[in-house]
A and B are shown apart, each in its own frame.
Chain A
Amino acid sequence: MTADAAAWEALRLSIWVSVWATVLAVPLALWVAWLLARGRFRGKAMLSALVHLPLVLPPVVTGYLLLMAFGRTAPLGRSLDAVGVTLAFHWTGAVLAALIMGFPLMVRAMRLAIEAVDPKLEEAAATLGAPRWSVFGRVTLPLIAPGILAGLVMGFAKAMGEFGATITFVANIPGQTQTLPSAIWTALQIPGGEGQAITMVLMASAVAIGAVLLSEVLARRVAARIAGT
């Protein structure tokens, strides 16, 4: 494999992993954000702390904890293996690592958006006969769309950049688990690899800037629709 092909392969894998991590995280993040914003239950502080843990733990520690939980010999990993799901040293594990690392950022953005929705509007929808799910779908969801979008971009960007937990959990296998950050790091370990590293740095930057610009455009459209202009 040429150096450039390896770079493109790492980019492809990173996008693939990040898209999966983002798509899988959104529903769960939305639910958790909802619980944290509106829920009244015991253990809310615990849930909040748990969600934010990956933000404060060293990523390597998170990766190692994942390995201990989902490694082939670990109980959880063994049972998953039995039903055909492999995580450790596999691209699916990279998805899990990216998902967990980006999760707190997603939850945070969505939670702020939900807290900004006036519950009085939801009450009004209920008095008009709308069942709970309809209230969420027709009032809350459109109003928090910008927040979801922001969370999505944050999660995706974090997933694209995730390194420590990923390399600890799924290692650095070219074409299988070597994401763009891992590939950049690898290139930098090889004498004369700077050229290849710079190519990938440009790729990573382009994707990140593109994602932010796209989200900005979308957020403006959504905000304009909500403000009714």
Chain B
Amino acid sequence: MTLKVDISHEFDGFSLKVAFEVGAGITALFGRSGAGKTTVINAVAGLLRPDNGTISLGDQTFFNSATRRFMPPAQRRLGYVFQDARLFPHLSVTENLTFGIRYAPRGVAGPDLDDVVHLLGLQPLLDRAPAKLSGGEKQRVALGRALLSRPQMLLMDEPLASLDGPRKLEILPYLERLRDGPLGLPILYVSHAVDEITRLADQIVLLRQGQVQQTGPLFDVMADPAVLPVLGVREAGAVLQAQVVSHAADGLTRLRISAGDLHLPGVQAPVGTTIRLRVLAQDVMLSRTHPAGLSALNILPVTVTGIHPGEGPGAAIALQAGSDRLIARITARAVTEMALTEGAECYAILKATSVAPESIGR
């Protein structure tokens, strides 16, 4: 079932015009604050009526400005997890969870209360009142409540934004379970946090000032130097899949990627699993010759596939490493001095690598 969005909307001097499709898995709607993310997700949910365009899910038309079709939010059957949880304060956790069950059409498959309580670890919370829950617990209940309304799809608007670091880590595994579990719900996930997206998303829709800048599979989009200005110099970087080969006694883990092996600290995932690695563009150095006598352990042979000069003194270099792609951010002067051109062979030195702290299992 594919969600198709093609809308335009004007408000307060801001104009939004976006078109994209969302299929299975987690699709991240990414952009800085003010890019129009919440406007888009609210339009999908039916909480906002766009000026023009169409929104459909499978063969159901949610909105069509030409035929004046507007399906009310209650009939769309989309589970919406809000940034601020929005639990009903006068109902217990159990009553919140089961709020939407009675509105789901008869015979629709979906999880029951036990499944959701088990999936999200809600057993100890059931009799409590929302006011007595922590931020992370509230979000888990909100997620369970959305799931129990038996939605066709989940919408999540920055569900982790209001949580601090440890609370985020508490929720992320549940979201991964949801993605990889038997429910298999498509999820539209709004976020401005690159680390959440690299950990969770399969697809990414990059919004910038009310326009879709780029869309596609996460690995492709993140490895495209053109996204560097959108993500920002500090956040841009390719995402790789790596297999855990072995854990050494000194605390380093050997990880296999297509271009060779990497040795990284702090990897908890068991041997044999696949994890995602995020290699920040600013953490990649380039050398024309194989460097010797360097403290860096992780050196990969790469081919330059593109050079994108930036506005300032920097340049983004697209690299092919085996079947993977990387981005390096170096100075334009270095590009000239090293005589880097497309097709040039060189070595990428990974100064440091930020690794998602837990296995992603794919």
Q: Name the one of A127, A138, A227, A228 contacting B73, with C-beta atoms under 8 angstroms.
A: A127
- Report the separation of the CA atoms of residues A128 and B95 in the bound assembly, to the nearest whole angstrom: 13
Report the minimal beta-carbon distance from A92 to chain B, rounded to whole angstroms.
Answer: 37
Tell me, yes or no, whether A74 is within 8 Å of chain B by CB. Answer: no
Is there a chain A Cβ closer than 8 Å to B145's Cβ? yes
Judged by a CB distance under 8 angstroms, whether B132 is at the interface is yes
B197-213 toward A: CB 8 Å interface, digit per residue (1/0)? Answer: 00000000000000000
A127 touches B80 (CB 8 A): yes
Asked whether, in the complex, the Cβ of A130 is within 8 Å of the Cβ of B72, the reply is no
A120 touches B82 (CB 8 A): yes
Task: Report B355 CB to chain A, min CB distance, Å.
Answer: 36
CA distance A138 to B129 in the complex (A): 16
What 0/1 readout, one digit per residue, does chain B (105-132) give for beta carbons within 8 Å of chain A?
0000000000000000000000011111
Cα A138 to Cα B96 in complex, Å, equals 11
Shortest distance from the beta carbon of B152 to any chain A beta carbon, whole Å: 11
Once bound together, how far apart are the Cα atoms of A126 and B104, in whole Å? 12
Q: Which B122-146 residues have C-beta < 8 A from chain A?
A: 128-132, 145-146
Contact A228 B92 (CB under 8 A): yes
Count of chain B residues near A, Cβ 8 A? 32
Within the complex, what minimum Cβ distance (angstroms) separates B154 from chain A? Answer: 11
B77, A126: Cβ atoms under 8 Å? no
Q: Are A139 and B88 in contact (CB under 8 A)?
A: yes
Interfacial chain A residues near B78, Cβ < 8 Å: 127
Contact, CB under 8 Å: A121 / B88: yes
* Chain A: minimal CB distance from B291 (Å): 55
Query: What A residues does B130 contact at CB under 8 A?
Result: 228
* Interface residue B14 (Cβ < 8 Å from any Cβ of A): no
Contact B89 A228 (CB under 8 A): yes
Q: What residue in chain A is nearest B80 (Cβ atoms)?
A: A127
- Give the nearest-CB partner of B86 in chain A: A124
Which residues does chain A contribute within 8 Å of B1, judged by CB atoms? Answer: none
Q: What is the 8 Å Cβ interface bit string for chain B, positions 65-80, against chain A (1 contact, 0 not)?
A: 0000000111111111
Interface assignment of B90: CB less than 8 Å from any CB of chain A: yes
Q: A124-B80, A124-B82, A125-B99 are in contact. Are A130 and B74 (CB under 8 A)?
A: yes
Any chain B CB within 8 A of the CB of A143? yes
Instruction: Flag whether B149 is at the interface (Cβ < 8 A).
Output: yes
Tell yes or no: A225 within 8 A of B by CB. Answer: yes
Q: Is the CB of A228 within 8 A of B86?
A: no
Q: How far is the CA of A129 from the CA of B78 in the complex (A)?
A: 8
A123-B47, A128-B99, A142-B90 are known contacts. Are A228 and B72 too (CB-CB below 8 A)? no
Interface size class of A (residues with CB under 8 A): 20 to 34
**Cβ contacts under 8 Å, B103 to chain A:** 128-131, 134
CB B153 to nearest CB in A, in angstroms, measures 11
With an 8 A cutoff between CB atoms, is A2 at the interface? Answer: no
Do residues B89 and A128 form an inter-chain contact, with CB atoms below 8 A?
A: no
Q: Does B345 contact A (CB under 8 A)?
A: no
A126 and B92 within 8 A (CB): no
Residue of A nearest to B84 (CB): A120
Chain B residues, CB < 8 A from A139? 88
On chain B, the residues within 8 Å of A227 by CB distance are 89, 129, 131
Give the complex CA separation of A227 and B90 in angstroms.
6
- Shortest CB distance A119–B (Å): 10
Bound CA span A112–B76, Å: 32
A121 close to B145 (CB less than 8 A) = no
A121, A128, A138 — most chain B CB neighbours (10 Å):
A128
Question: Is there an interface contact between A129 and B90, defined as CB atoms closer than 8 Å?
Answer: no
Q: Is B309 an interface residue (CB 8 A)?
A: no
Instruction: Tell me which residues across on chain B come within 8 A of A127, comparing CB atoms.
Output: 45-47, 73-74, 76, 78-80, 146, 149, 155
- Contact of A128 with B149 in the complex, beta carbons under 8 Å: yes
* B103 and chain A: residue at smallest CB distance: A129
Q: Does B23 contact A (CB under 8 A)?
A: no
CA distance A139 to B88 in the complex (A): 7
- A226 to B92: give the CA distance in the assembly, Å: 10
Are B129 and A123 in touch, CB under 8 angstroms? Answer: no
CA distance A32 to B205 in the complex (A): 45
Provide the bound-state CA to CA distance between A131 and B100, in Å: 11
Evaluate contact between A225 and B84: CB separation under 8 angstroms.
no
Distance in angstroms between the alpha carbons of A125 and B72 in the assembled complex = 12
CA A228 to CA B93, docked complex, whole Å: 10
Known: A128-B145, A138-B99. 7 other contacts (CB 8 A): A126-B74, A127-B79, A128-B79, A130-B103, A131-B103, A228-B90, A228-B131
- Which 9 interchain pairs have the tightest Cβ spacing? A228-B129, A129-B103, A128-B100, A127-B80, A124-B86, A126-B73, A226-B90, A228-B131, A128-B149
- List 11 A-B pairs, Cβ < 8 Å: A120-B86, A128-B79, A128-B103, A128-B149, A130-B99, A130-B103, A227-B131, A228-B128, A228-B129, A228-B131, A228-B132
